[in-house]
């Protein structure tokens, strides 16, 4: 479903962001580029949090197994 998430693993916001960040920059890892260019490509923490919120917003908090990836 989402390539950077592992099956049967719980993710905190920080872990989700780190996985999202690493997956996004993976194709560019061996390319020489400035920090400014990398910042334009890589997702911010805010963007990752918005993505996670959109992905989990319809989940019933009393039944959190629904969001076990």
Tens-place pLDDT, residues 11-42: 889 999 999 999 999 999 899 999 999 999 99
Rg of the chain, C-alpha, whole Å = 14
On the 0-12 / 13-18 / 19+ scale of CB atoms within 10 A, 16 is buried
* pLDDT recorded at residue 58: 72
Report the C-alpha gap between 66 and 69 in whole angstroms: 8
For residue 48, being part of any structural domain is answered with: yes
> Do the beta carbons of residue 42 and residue 25 sit within 8 Å?
yes
For residue 1, being part of any structural domain is answered with: no
What's the domain count of the chain? 1
Whether the model pTM is above 0.85: no
Q: Which domain holds residue 31?
A: 13-67
Report the C-alpha gap between 42 and 21 in whole angstroms: 6
């Amino acid at each position: 479903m989402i390539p950077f998430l592992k099956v049967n693993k719980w993710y905190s916001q920080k872990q989700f962001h780190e996985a999202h960040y690493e997956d996004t920059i993976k194709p560019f890892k061996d390319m020489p580029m400035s920090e400014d260019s990398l910042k334009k490509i890589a997702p911010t923490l805010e963007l990752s949090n918005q993505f996670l919120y959109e992905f989990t917003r319809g989940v019933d908090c009393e039944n959190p197994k629904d969001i076990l990836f």
